[in-house]
């Protein structure tokens, strides 16, 4: 068994957050909620919660 990691596209996540005009965005299947200042997020390590309906709900960090 091997561990696999997925690194989300930070630029795409921030683009969608700005388009939503809110700290939370998504749809019926997934939701992302930022836990940091989104007007001036940190260069690295902006904390957000990722929720996938019925599967996961945990904090992640942009890199």
Per-residue model confidence as pLDDT tens digits over 28-63: 999 999 999 999 989 888 999 988 888 777 777 777
Q: Which of 30, 39, 57, 60 is nearest to 48 (CA)?
A: 60
Q: Which of 20, 52, 19, 22 is nearest to 34 (CA)?
A: 22
Rounded to a whole number of angstroms, the distance between the first and last alpha carbons of the chain is 26
Per-residue model confidence as pLDDT tens digits over 2-24: 445 677 889 999 999 999 999 99
């Amino acid at each position: 068994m091997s561990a696999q990691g997925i690194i989300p596209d930070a630029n795409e996540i921030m683009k969608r957050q700005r388009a939503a005009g809110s700290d939370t965005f998504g749809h019926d299947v997934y939701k992302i909620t930022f836990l940091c200042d989104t007007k001036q997020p940190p260069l690295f390590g902006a904390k957000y919660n990722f929720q996938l309906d019925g599967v996961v709900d945990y904090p992640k960090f942009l890199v």
